[in-house]
Every structure is written in C-alpha cells, then in structure tokens.
Chain A
Amino acid sequence: MKEKTIILTGNPNTGKTTLFNALTGLHQKTGNWPGVTVEIKEGHFIHGDTRFTVIDLPGTYSLTSFTEDEKIARDILVRKQADAVIVVVDATNLERNMYLVTLMMELEQNVVVAVNMYDLAMEKGISVNTEELEKMMGIPFVRTVANRNEGISRLRDLISGEGRKPKTGAGSINYGKEIEEAISGIVSKLKDFTTPYPLRFLATRLIEKDPEFTAMFEGKDTFADIKNITGKLDREYPEIENTMIEKRYGFIHGMVEECTRRETRLEEKIQLTARLDKLFTHSLSGSLIFLFFMWFTFQAVFTLGGPFAGILHFLFSIAGSWTGKILFAAALPEWIISLLTDGIISGVGAVIIFLPNIFLLFFIFAALEDTGYIARAAFVTDRIMHRVGLHGKSAIPMLLGFGCNVPAIMATRTLETRKDRIITILALPFMSCSARLPVYLLFTGIFFKHNQGTVLFSLYIIGIIAGMLTAWIFKNAFFRKESSHIIMELPPYHPPEIKGMLISAWAKSCLFLRKAGTMIFAGVVLIWFLSYFPLSASFASRESFTGMIGSLLAPLLKPAGFGSWQAGVALLSGLVAKELVVGTFGTVLGGTDGMSAALSLLFTPVSAYSFMLMTLLYVPCVATVAVIKQEAGTRWALISALWSILAGWLTATAFYQAARLFF
C-alpha cells in the first residue's frame, strides 16, 4: 500500500477541524473561535490503494507568524514536503480566505481548495463559481459542507490525484513593474543556491523581510546584492510588506468579484449579529452577561448533575459492599479484599461519581464555544485584563482552564508576545479546573448543603481574582514596559450543534475516565499500600505509612484550619492529580459512605472552605507543571509551582484565622 501525506490548512474558523473529522473519521474538539487547534493533530484514511496521513494545522491567516501556533503552522507548511495541501476556505468570506491560497501557490505546493460551509453561503445568498475559479487559478476547487459530509468523497478523489501544482502563469500575481524587476533580480542571484523552496517564493519572502529567510542568506556572498535590490525597493515603497499584501489582495479581489454572486439576504443576519454584539460586548451589559453565564454554568453543573452523581454514588456503594461480601465468601486473603474494596472501589469510585457534573461542565462550555460567544468574552474582559497586565485574548485560555489547565496553557500559543504568554501561563493554574470540582462537590455537599452553587461560584471567582493578582504582580515585577492590544476576527453567531457539543463533552469526559483508570487508579493503589502497611498498624491509621507522612505535614497545615494527617496526605497526593484528594479521602476514611461522616468530624464549615481554598490555589497537578516547563521553561515552571503553593497556604490561613474571629 502506498503512503502519502496531506496537510490541512486554512484560516481560523473555516470548519477545518470538522473537515479533518469528516476525512479521517477521528473526532476531536472543534470550536468557534480563532486558534482552537493548538496541537498538531494527525489522522489517517485509506482511499484506493493509498493510505493517507492527514496533518491538521492550527488556523493561520498567512505565512507571517504573529503567534506561536501560527508559527507552528507556517513552519510545517514551509518545511514539510507534503504530497498535497488542502486549503480550507470559508465560502461566506472567500476574499479574506483566498489570501492563504495565493501564498500556497507561491510555495508551488500541490493544492486542492475546499470551499467549505457552502450551505451557509447559500443561506446568505452567496454562490461561488468554482469552475471559473479553477480556470483562473489553475488548481482544483471543491464545494464542501464538512458537517454533513458533502463534497468529502470528491475531495478524497482530488487528493488521490495529489491536487495540482499551479500552472505557470495561471493564478500568479503580478506585483507591478518595480517589484517584479526586484523579484527577477533576486531570483537571478539565487540561481546557484541549493534550496527546497521555489526561487520566486524565496525572493518575495526576502523582499518582505521575513527574518527566517533573511537569516538563511546573511553572511553569504549574494546577501549584499540582495540587500542592494531590496534597499532600492524600500526607498520606492517604504512599507513594502504591506504593499505586497495589498497587491495580493488586489489580485484576489478582482478574481472573487468575477467568481461570486451575492444576493441581499446577507444583511438580516449581519444585523442580528451586530445587535447581539452590542449586548454581549458592551462594557456593562457584556460584563454582567459574562458573569451570569459563569454563574449559570456552575449552578447547572450542580442542580442538573447532582441526581446523576447520586445514582453513581449509590451504585459504587453497592458494588463495594457486594464485592466485599463475595470475596469474603470466596475466602480470599484479607489484603486482596481490602485492596479491592478499601482501595480501588472506594478511591476510584469517590472520583468517578462526579463524572455527570464534569460532563455537564464541558457540555456547557462546548455550547458557549460553538455559538461564537467565547470570542466576545475575550473583548468583554479585555479592559480589566489590561489593567492587571493580561491580554483580552488571554480570556480564551483562561476559560479553557476551567476545563483543564494543561490544554489551556498550550492554548496560550495564540497570544502574540512572550510577555502575554508568560503572564497568562502564571495566572492559569488559578483557574479552577474540572479536576478540582470533585473536591468542591464533596465538601459543599457536606458543609454547605443549602448554598452549594453559590459557594462553588465564589471559589471560581476567587480563582479568577488570584490569577489576576498574580498577573498584576508579575507584570509589574518583570514586564513593566511591555504592552499589547487585542485585534481579533469575530465569527458570526450561530446556534450550537447538539451532536458536536455531545462529542466534545464526551471526548473530554473520556479523558477524565482514562485518568481515573490510570493515574488515579495507580494513586489510590499507592495510598492503599501506604495505608495498609506496616501490618502492625490498623488500616489507614495514624500509625500507617500514610498516617506518618500526613502527620509530618499536619503542623504546617494547622494554621489554615486543617491540621489532620488525613488532610495532609490528601493534599500531598493531590499534587499528582487533584481528583486524588477525594480518592485519598475515600481510601483512608472508609469509602464513599464512611467518608462523609468522617469528614464532618475532621472539618468545620470554616475549615472546609479553607481546605477548598487551598485545593483551588496550590499546584493543579504535575502535568500542569510539566507543560509550563515545556511552554515557558524550567524557571517559570518552578516559579509557578512555588508561587501557587505559597498563595494557597497564605490565602487559606488568612481566611481561616479571620473567619475564626466571627464564627
């Protein structure tokens, strides 16, 4: 079987990821704001006698890299010699999207253009003459509606033919006399130079002062000649980079005008989007709506998820009790019975019962993404974000952080400056991820039965405030002079697709389940082992290894109100994964049933809230620290870990000591 590689590229928000899913059958997250694909995704499909590997790149507007994810996309597009490139363009906004197509043509790649979301274009009264576009550009075009699988089979056929290299002359841009002369001059100087890139493409990059391509020639004999040519051009066109972009857009404009037809139906939808924008992005109403959505989300997680969590709780209690009886009747050794019932079922069960709440959280976030609201949230928060040294666009990774801090930190690649990335990365661990939710649900269920939603909401708000304060402190300490502003394309509002939301929420819930089956499983087995030994001690007693470790930590935690060894060991295991806090309580306090009674003896409402504050603020998990190291370096990973432990302890202690004066 032959092997071929296809690259999938396109502007953000063109349905590229949906098309990737349609081509490969893989399900992955699709969002409705720029920059959703922060990692390179690969998928496969077989067509005829060929196995195709499809690489889904982060959305990009051009080959000029502003952000880290655009840089990733550009590097792969420029360096990877794929058999073909599929450029996904939004049929409703052809002119802006075709810019990337012209760059791909300059790269002389085998290109197939998927004119996607064609159904929306038709709804808006836009029709695209793809046959005419093919003639003018010399490359194949296919109309697709990826979410309905329309056009996918023809797209596969076209890819099998490896797309088409643009014919000389067809679709090539004439930059005007002076620039064309400069291009020819540079091309003649590069003739003896061995390079994988087309010479005309190289020449345009050098004229546009692309630092990466300029560096390739610096110090070489030809560099002075090239500089001489570009220098002359600079005198003629002081903003040559913009001039080149303008020429490309000029070419595209003429072509799109000829190949598209518009009826006036578009206006109504634009008016609706404008009216909604006025409401959703207004300083006052926008902020109130943003806060309402957050409050509603956490209330819904509780009120709708609670009954389902209760059912799971009941099932795990029965499973634990029956398993114990069956194993006892089978006369298995006592330690096996203890491992299965006290360790695995109690520990893992204590975490899994919160699956319905976590599913709901991701489902609601998927809805907010899908409607296009999240991009607006970035603008709503921009002003306040700026005050503390963050960027409005930081709101997107921060909102993602409520799901999981790890992808959220990777999503900071959509930010344009290193300063914005570092500050956002330092603030992100304070965004209360779903792994912390089981801890809150457990404690609020015991100590704050009548106002669980409000207590939960307060924790999320405190997390946001801690993140903001962190940003403000580090901005003033390390990045005082730097400043950047927000410019973002806003996707139109549309109703969310229930199927897509379910897929997105389920995919993320599966990650939670996988974590429960691996990391949390291993963690609870370890905690069981430490609780079971030495044999001279009773299970999970102060004399067990767990008790000894917890007892070492307890004095440090006493000022914060939770100086028991059980709390100490739970927080220690929470460093691995926050769900393990609950898993550990489940193991050392006698499973889902015994745990609630034991916790109400160990904690008071004040110390319970203090414990939740600590859980909220100290290091989210080792995976988060590892990804901070990967994205920002060891120094920032260490700073983040130490800072969050300190913030957690100080906040919990301050709260407990102050609250004790009143309660």
Chain B
Amino acid sequence: MLKLSEAHNGKYMIVRIDPACQGAKKRLTTLGIFVGDEIEITKPAPGPVIFKKGGTSVGVGHGIAMHISVTPSDRGKAA
C-alpha cells in the first residue's frame, strides 16, 4: 500500500481515504470515485496527481494525494 502522491503511472486500487479528509472523500464520491475502485494514474507527482476512471479524468492536489492510499491493481501493471 502506498500514498497516491508516491504512486507512478499505472493502474491502482483506492484502498483508503483519510477520515480527516471527509470533504475530499465526498467530492470524489460525487464524481463517482469510491474506495475499492480501480483508477489509472496518467500523471503522477510531483505536482498534482491526475488519474482517470471510466471517462472521468480527475486532478488531485498534492496535499490531498498524500491522504489517499492505493495499492497496485492486479488487473493492470503499476510501476
């Protein structure tokens, strides 16, 4: 398991969003992104992390990316 801010390009599964970041979690949820979802990082840190799920491409500031935990997805390759 690693932070979203540490992840490289590739497919990952979101495993946890820090409970302290409820606002961020709610925002991601309304965008249709949930814990347990598979995402594909298209632009890793430094700077904002950009990932896509389905047809939605979402940018997450570095500050928030440090509070989202991901794990490399079995279904895809993650560096």
Which residue numbers of A lie inside 8 Å of B, CB to CB? 61-62, 64, 66, 90, 92-96, 99, 241-242, 245-246, 249, 270, 273-274, 277-278, 281-283, 286, 375-376, 378-380, 382-383, 386, 392, 416, 483-492
Contact = CB atoms under 8 A, between A and B. Distances in A.
A380 B23 CA distance: 22
Contacts of A61: 30-31
A63 B55 CA distance: 21
A242 B34 contact: yes
A487 B64 contact: yes
A487 B60 contact: yes
B55 A64 contact: no
Given A62-B30, A249-B34, A383-B62, A492 B57 contact: yes
Contact of B26 (A242, A246, A383): A242
- Tell me what chain A mostly uses at the interface: helix, strand, loop, or mixed: helix
- Tell me what chain B mostly uses at the interface: helix, strand, loop, or mixed: mixed
Nearest to A492: B57
B61 interface: yes
21 contacts: A64-B26, A66-B23, A66-B27, A92-B55, A93-B54, A96-B32, A242-B26, A273-B57, A277-B50, A278-B42, A283-B46, A382-B47, A383-B62, A392-B48, A485-B64, A486-B59, A487-B31, A488-B58, A489-B59, A490-B57, A491-B57
A68 to B, nearest CB: 15
Interface in B38-72: 42-43, 46-48, 50, 52, 54-64
B7 to A, nearest CB: 15
Given A96-B32, A245-B30, A379-B47, A490 B58 contact: yes
Contacts of B63: 386, 483, 485-486
Contact of A286 (B24, B30, B47): B47
Given A278-B43, A489-B56, A382 B48 contact: yes
In the complex, which range does the number of interface residues on chain B fall in?
A: 20 to 34
Instruction: Output the residue of B21, B46, B48, B59 with the most chain A CB within 10 A.
Output: B48
Contacts of A245: 29-30
Contacts of B55: 90, 92-96
Contacts of A95: 32, 54-55
A488 B50 CA distance: 9
B61 A486 contact: yes
Given A241-B26, A270-B42, A486-B64, A281 B47 contact: yes
B24 A485 contact: yes
Given A242-B26, A487-B59, A488-B59, A281 B42 contact: no
A379 B26 contact: no
Nearest to B35: A242
